Amino acid sequence: MENELYRRLDTLLEKMSTKDFQENKGLGNEVGYYVFDYPEQEELKVRDWIETQQRKNNSVILGYTLKVFNLFDILLDLLKEEDILEDTYDIEEEQGIDGIIGAITDLVEITETNNNNYFVSLIRNETVQGDVVFITGVGEIFPLIRSHKVLNTMNLSLDTVPIVMFFPGKYDGATLKIFDKEVDDNYYRAFRIV
C-alpha cells in the first residue's frame, strides 16, 4: 500500500506541473477542485510528503507557487486570536460536541451559501494566479467543520487557482467518506485526482 501511495503522490506532482492543471483547463469548464483521498493510516506519510513539497517549492522551475492551508491550524489560530479557546471547553461540557460545532460554525460563518466564510476569505486573500492550493487538516478538524461545506462555499468565490484537498478516507466522485467509516456528505464538483 505504501508504494501505491507514493506512486499516486508522484502522479499528482506530474499533473501539477502541467500548464492545463495550473490554468484550470481541460475540466469541461468546471472549477479546478480536486480531492486526493488516502487511507487514514497513511496520514503521517502524506503530511511528510506535503512538508517536503513546501520546502522544495521553486516557482520558477515548477511554474506555480504552492500554498498549504491546514484547516485545523487556521481554526486554532482564530480561536486563540478571538480569545475564546478556553470557552470551547465550557461549551463542550455544557452542550456536548453539538454545542461546539454550532459555536464554531457561527464563528467561521460557514454555511452552504456564505462564500465569504472565514476559511474561504483567508485562502482567497492569500492566493494569486499562479498558485496551487493544498488544503490539509480535514481529519484533524472533523467533525467540527465538514470538508464538503468548505468545498461547497469555496467554489462560489475561489475559482482562479487549482485546489487539492487531502482527504483521509475515500472519495468516489460523489461521496466523501471520512476515515473510511462515516459519510461526510455528497459532493459532486471536485475531481478525484490520481
pLDDT tens-digit readout, 100-143: 888 888 878 776 665 678 888 888 899 988 899 999 999 998 88
- Residue 137 CB-density burial (10 A; 0-12 exposed, 13-18 middle, 19+ buried): buried
φ and ψ at residue 4, rounded to 5 degrees: -65, -40
Give the predicted TM-score (pTM) of the model.
0.87
What pLDDT sits at residue 111? Answer: 64
- Convert the pLDDT of each residue in 18-32 to its tens digit: 888 888 765 666 668
In a domain, 10, yes or no: no
If you average pLDDT over each of 42-46, 61-65, 80-84, 183-187, which comes out highest? 42-46
What pLDDT sits at residue 174? Answer: 80
pLDDT mean across residues, the chain: 83
In a domain, 2, yes or no: no
* Number of structural domains the chain divides into: 1
Q: What is the Cα–Cα distance from 61 to 63, expressed in whole angstroms?
A: 6
- Domain assignment of residue 46, given as a range: 32-192
Beta-carbon contacts of 135 under 8 Å, excluding residues fewer than 6 positions away, are 69, 71, 123, 150, 163, 164, 165, 166
Q: What is the Cα–Cα distance from 155 to 58, expressed in whole angstroms?
A: 27
